[in-house]
Amino acid sequence: MNLRAAVRDHTLATATALSVVALALVFAAALRVIPPEALPRAPSAVVDAIPHVNAFVSAVAFVLIVVGVRAIRGGDVERHRKLMGTAFGLFVVFLVGYLYRVALIGPTEFPGSGLIETVYFAILGIHITLAVVSVPLLFYTLLLAWSHPVSEIPSTNHRRVGKVAAPLWAISFALGVVVYLLIYVLA
């Protein structure tokens, strides 16, 4: 049995396993379970650039998701696949950069106080919640799309779950950009 067939037969279990691993990596980095000295150290300029690159990546991914949803609504399956696949690739780029930086130096502290700090933590909480909820939904919809021929996708849960996953994912990316702006521009 090849990998695609195995995933097709066990899509939910595969999505669950990938979600657990991805979220465990995020929490391990955020809680600094991985000793920073165990990681190779990039130059400070690279580490310092990660939040700015990730904000750009998030903004582009947001646009790709919105355009990808429009493409499938217009019946352009191939464009939808390319856009959503690229958005997922950008998510991976974002996640690698984020995990690396957080594992090295810890989460970024918010420099402001008062009302803007309250707004920041509210937006951050929503962003994190949506990101955590989105991960298993994304893995599930993407694995369905990857493991089934296009002709069979309508008979799967891809469309139903994707209708929930795409907006949550897009909002999470958008709020990530807002979090970036609050930390690096407005505070």
Q: Which domains does the chain carry?
A: 3-34+47-186 (1.20.120)
Average pLDDT over residues 37-62: 96
Q: Write down the pLDDT at residue 84.
A: 97
Amino acid identity, position 92: V
Helix, strand or coil for residue 181? Answer: helix
Within 8 A by CB and 6+ apart from 145, the residues are: 81, 84, 153, 158
Average pLDDT over residues 88-100: 95
Q: In angstroms, rounded to a whole number, what is the distance separating the alpha carbons of residues 26 and 20?
A: 10
| Banded pLDDT at 34 (limits 50, 70, 90) | confident
Q: What percent of the chain has pLDDT over 70?
A: 99
Within 8 A by CB and 6+ apart from 127, the residues are: 172, 175, 176, 178, 179
Cα-trace Rg, the chain: 18
Q: Write down the pLDDT at residue 160.
A: 97
Pair of tokens at residue 56: 């750009």
Average pLDDT over residues 121-149: 96
Average pLDDT over residues 20-28: 92
Average pLDDT over residues 23-32: 89
Within 8 A by CB and 6+ apart from 51, the residues are: 101, 108, 180, 183, 184
Is the pLDDT reported for residue 1 higher than 80? no
Is the pLDDT reported for residue 167 higher than 80? yes
Average pLDDT, the chain: 95
Q: Write down the pLDDT at residue 32.
A: 86
Average pLDDT over residues 81-95: 96
Q: Are 45 and 37 in contact (CB under 8 A)?
A: no
Q: In angstroms, rounded to a whole number, what is the distance separating the alpha carbons of residues 59 and 37?
A: 31
Overall pTM surpassing 0.85 (yes/no): yes
Q: In angstroms, rounded to a whole number, what is the distance separating the alpha carbons of residues 71 and 80?
A: 5
